[in-house]
């Protein structure tokens, strides 16, 4: 399994992209930034987008991914296949009602035709595995103000976890501890320690809270831990606070990272 980090920040600033991870070229975990980080050719390989939740920083590029393949499709080309959006049913309903609603953006689940649209929606359920393009993906419920799941990925007997946005949780760590060959975890770490209360209210973690959460991981120290969703304007302070926790095999993700499992 190959995981390419397209964006790993919890804010958008010049040079800092929103959360988006490309798995084996065809599966996207969250759609914060694929159209500003991938060529048109690379975007065409994307067949599946797993959406953790409907906050804008995780869905915004669904709009532009769909738009970028629309002209070719409308010209009659058939090699430009559809993208399936996988998320909890309540999130799909939110996308339809508030985003792909012909007011904010055209409803690409009906374009160019209802029968053969550019976007298809597929409901997933908590702890029910789906298999796409050879990768097993299991949604894990997270602690966030809106319905949100992280994802357990598995291919070739190796597992990997993406927490998506989360505050303090037990489910994530229970799933992590049950995996026989877990090769790494991407974990939320959004705000500096001074913003602990904001982190709790908004369903995120500070470096201190993240370090406390990691005590629930039985094999801490024997697998890499990657942090994401840092607020870019606080990055240097957060870097120092993360280093102060002195946790082995842990680092903040960067946008040039490509994880090979």
Nearer to Zn ion, 20 or 35 (CB): 20
Contact region with Zn ion (CB under 5 A), list: 47-55, 88-96, 180-188, 235-243:
47-55
Shortest spacing between CB 181 and Zn ion, in angstroms: 28
Shortest spacing between CB 35 and Zn ion, in angstroms: 17
- Whether the CB-CB separation of 184 and 167 falls below 8 Å is answered with no
| Long-range contacts of the stretch 154-160 (C-beta < 8 A, 24+) | 155/1, 155/24, 155/261, 156/1, 157/181, 158/1, 158/183, 158/261, 159/183, 160/1, 160/3, 160/184, 160/185, 160/259, 160/261
Size of the site for Zn ion (CB under 5 A): 3
Nearer to Zn ion, 203 or 207 (CB): 203
Of 164, 241, 177, 173, the closest CA to residue 204 belongs to 164
Nearer to Zn ion, 57 or 154 (CB): 57
Q: Please tell me whether residue 204 binds Zn ion under the rule CB under 5 A.
A: no
Backbone angles phi and psi of 236, in degrees to 5: -70, -40
Contact region with Zn ion (CB under 5 A), list: 20-28, 157-165, 177-185, 241-249:
157-165
Site for Zn ion in 224-253 (CB under 5 A): none
Contact region with Zn ion (CB under 5 A), list: 37-45, 51-59, 86-94, 205-213:
51-59
Of 225, 28, 51, 234, the closest CA to residue 133 belongs to 28
Of 39, 37, 49, the closest CA to residue 6 belongs to 37
Contact region with Zn ion (CB under 5 A), list: 48-56, 120-128, 130-138, 215-223:
48-56
Shortest spacing between CB 71 and Zn ion, in angstroms: 30
Nearer to Zn ion, 61 or 165 (CB): 165
Work out which of 30, 165, 188, 241 binds Zn ion, going by CB under 5 A.
165
Shortest spacing between CB 117 and Zn ion, in angstroms: 27
Site for Zn ion in 52-81 (CB under 5 A): 55, 57
Convert 151-180 to b/e letters by CB count within 10 Å (16 or more is b): bbbbbeeebbbbbbbbbbbebbbebbeebe
Residues that bind Zn ion (CB under 5 A): 55, 57, 165
């Amino acid at each position: 399994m190959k995981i390419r980090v397209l964006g790993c920040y919890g804010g958008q600033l010049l040079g800092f992209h929103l959360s988006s991870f490309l798995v084996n070229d065809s599966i996207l975990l969250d759609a914060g930034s694929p159209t500003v980080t991938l060529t048109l050719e690379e975007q065409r390989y994307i067949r599946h987008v797993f959406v953790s939740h409907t906050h804008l920083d995780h869905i915004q590029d669904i709009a532009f991914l769909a738009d970028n393949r629309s002209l070719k499709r409308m010209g009659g080309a058939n090699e430009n296949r559809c993208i399936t959006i996988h998320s909890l049913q309540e999130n799909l309903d939110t996308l339809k009602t508030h985003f792909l609603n012909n007011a904010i953006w055209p409803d690409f689940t009906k374009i160019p035709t209802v029968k053969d649209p550019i976007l298809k929606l597929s409901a997933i359920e908590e702890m029910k595995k789906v298999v796409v393009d050879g990768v097993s993906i299991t949604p894990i419920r997270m602690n966030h103000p809106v319905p949100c799941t992280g994802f357990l990925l598995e291919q070739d007997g190796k597992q990997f976890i993406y927490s998506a946005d989360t505050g303090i949780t037990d489910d994530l760590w229970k799933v992590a501890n049950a995996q026989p060959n877990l090769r790494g975890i991407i974990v939320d770490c959004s705000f500096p320690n001074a913003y602990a209360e904001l982190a709790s209210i908004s369903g995120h973690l500070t470096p201190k809270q993240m370090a406390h959460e990691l005590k629930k991981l039985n094999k801490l120290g024997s697998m890499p831990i990657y942090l994401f969703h840092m607020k870019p304007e606080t990055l240097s302070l957060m870097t120092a606070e993360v280093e102060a926790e002195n946790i082995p095999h842990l680092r903040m993700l960067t946008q040039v990272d490509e994880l090979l499992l």
